[in-house]
């Protein structure tokens, strides 16, 4: 395939994600009595799982898509074509700000529910610059697809004109017979 997608940028993730995930899991576990009882186990096991999760995080922007990979126990790989991306939204809460992190939500045309996103990227280093690169590449891809669609419609118009000429010629030939 000669039209291979080329990697334009690779997102780097902030190592503070590990601390954030540990604190977040402890805060969530304090919501129930059973969760409070599990905190010692969370403090022992969670850092190991979180480290392995962090090691598997990757996100690449290619000429055609945004590719994301994560997961230690459950491996998830998502590829979202750039022309399907509708919006990239930042989210920062008090806990995220305390760790110097932000969430970048990728929303596509096929969102299933209100307020949901197709992809959530936590802790990208310089997320604003990465967001801008994705939006610029999306514009390049959509501009190219629009110009290709316009050239297709021009070709279709030329084909239709040619077919009308052939029809008229056949009609004149039929009258002479």
pLDDT value at position 1? 43
Q: Give tens-digit pLDDT for 116-153.
A: 567 889 999 999 899 999 999 999 988 876 555 555 55
Q: Which helix (H) or strand (E) holds 95?
A: helix 94-98
Question: What whole-number distance in Å separates Cα of residue 7 and Cα of residue 67?
Answer: 10
Q: Cα 117 vs. chain centroid, distance in angstroms?
A: 9
Neighbours of 61 (CB within 10 A): 20
How would residue 56 be classed by pLDDT, with cut points 50, 70 and 90? very high
Percent share of the chain, pLDDT over 90:
51
Query: Which has the closest alpha carbon to 124: 2, 13, 7?
Result: 13
Lowest mean pLDDT among 21-25, 45-49, 109-113: 109-113
Q: What percent of the chain has pLDDT over 70?
A: 88
Per-residue pLDDT band for 20 (boundaries 50, 70, 90) equals very high
Residue 68 above 90 pLDDT? yes
Please tell me the total number of residues recorded for the chain in this structure: 177
The pLDDT value given to residue 105: 92
pLDDT exceeds cutoff 70 at 113: no
Look up tokens 């290619």; give the residue: 62
pLDDT tens string 76-91:
999 999 989 988 988 8
Q: What span, in angstroms and rounded, lies between the C-alpha atoms of 100 and 13?
A: 12
pLDDT of residue 2: 45
pTM of the model: 0.71
């Amino acid at each position: 395939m000669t039209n291979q997608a080329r990697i334009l940028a690779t997102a780097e993730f902030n190592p503070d994600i590990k601390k954030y995930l540990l604190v977040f899991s402890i805060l969530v576990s304090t919501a129930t009595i059973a969760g409070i009882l599990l905190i010692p186990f969370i403090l022992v096991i969670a850092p190991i799982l979180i480290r392995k999760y962090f090691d598997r995080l990757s996100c690449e922007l290619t000429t055609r898509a945004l590719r994301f990979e994560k997961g230690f126990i459950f491996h998830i790989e998502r590829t979202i074509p750039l022309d399907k991306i509708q919006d990239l939204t930042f989210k920062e809460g008090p806990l995220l700000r305390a760790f110097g992190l932000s969430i970048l939500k990728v929303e596509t045309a096929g969102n299933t529910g209100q307020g949901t996103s197709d992809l959530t990227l936590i802790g990208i280093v310089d997320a604003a610059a990465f967001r801008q690169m994705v939006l610029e590449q999306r514009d390049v891809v959509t501009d190219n697809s629009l110009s290709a669609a316009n050239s297709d419609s021009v070709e279709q118009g030329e084909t239709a004109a040619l077919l009308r000429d052939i029809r008229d010629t056949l009609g004149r030939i039929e009258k002479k017979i």
